[in-house]
Every structure is written in C-alpha cells, then in structure tokens.
C-alpha cells in the first residue's frame, strides 16, 4: 500500500484549507470528525444529509482533507481512522478553524429552522385542505 501524504504544518495554506472546506460534503465530514471525541473511520460518513456517498467519492473527499492538512489518517487493518489536526492548525492560523466551524454551525441551525418552518407551513396547508 502506498503511504498516506500528510503535509508538514508549515506547508499548510489558508487557501488549501478554504478550498478543502468549500465543498458541502467535505465540510460535513470535517465537522463530524472535529466534533467527535475520538478518531472516526471513513465508514461513519457513508451517509451525509440523508444521502448515500459512494466509497470512491468518500475516499477522494478524505484525500482532499488530508492533503489540505486538515486531518490525519491512519490505517488500522482495513479501516482508515481519521483525526483533526486542530491543535497544530490553531497554532499556525489562530482562530481560523474555530471561526469556520462556528459559521458552519450557524448555517446548520438556520437550515434546520427553515426546514421546521416549511414543515409547519406544509402541515397547516394540509390541515386547511382537509
């Protein structure tokens, strides 16, 4: 097996981080790993936002996150375990990831609120029609 590429922290760039997190599936994966108490296997992310993610696509997303310096991956048997490099990245770019993750959290909350409102509105229309 080919060794996994993890850039040195000095080689990680803001542009690389922003590019990696510009894709909704990748930011969801990173958010999931960053929010977890322990390493996460790739298979934990086969379903994101109620969508099935093909394994080949998922592998590519993890590769982009890894090569951007956002995560560290380690092969354990047939599984790949992933952790964030938050501490290293916080030293290099203080506050960057915290700001991005807070913005993502706000966005998720707003989407959930809109979805609840739409559901209530749909239920109200259905009640009136009945």
**What is the domain partition of the chain in residue ranges?**
9-94
What does the CA dihedral 118, 123, 128, 130 come to, rounded to 10 degrees?
140
Q: 82 with 39: CB under 8 angstroms?
A: yes
DSSP assignment letter at 18? H
pTM as predicted: 0.85
Q: What is the CATH number of domain 9-94?
A: 1.10.10.10
> SS3 letters for 68-112?
CCCEEEEEECCEEEEEECHHHHHHHCCCHHHHHHHHHHHHHHHHH
- Give the pLDDT band (50/70/90) at residue 105: very high
pLDDT in tens, 14-44: 999 999 999 999 999 999 999 898 999 988 9
CA-based Rg of the chain, rounded to a whole angstrom? 18
């Amino acid at each position: 097996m080919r060794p996994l590429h993890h850039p040195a922290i000095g080689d990680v760039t803001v542009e690389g981080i922003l590019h990696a997190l510009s894709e909704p599936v990748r930011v969801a994966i990173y958010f999931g790993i960053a929010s977890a108490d322990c390493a996460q296997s790739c298979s934990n992310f086969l379903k994101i936002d109620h969508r099935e993610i093909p394994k080949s696509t998922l592998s590519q997303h993890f590769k982009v996150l890894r090569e951007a310096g956002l995560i560290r991956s380690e092969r354990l048997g047939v599984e790949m375990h992933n952790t964030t490099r938050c501490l290293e990245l916080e030293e290099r770019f203080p506050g960057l990831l915290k700001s991005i993750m807070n913005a993502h959290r706000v966005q998720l909350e707003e989407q959930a609120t809109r979805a609840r409102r739409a559901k209530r509105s749909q239920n109200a229309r259905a009640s009136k029609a009945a």
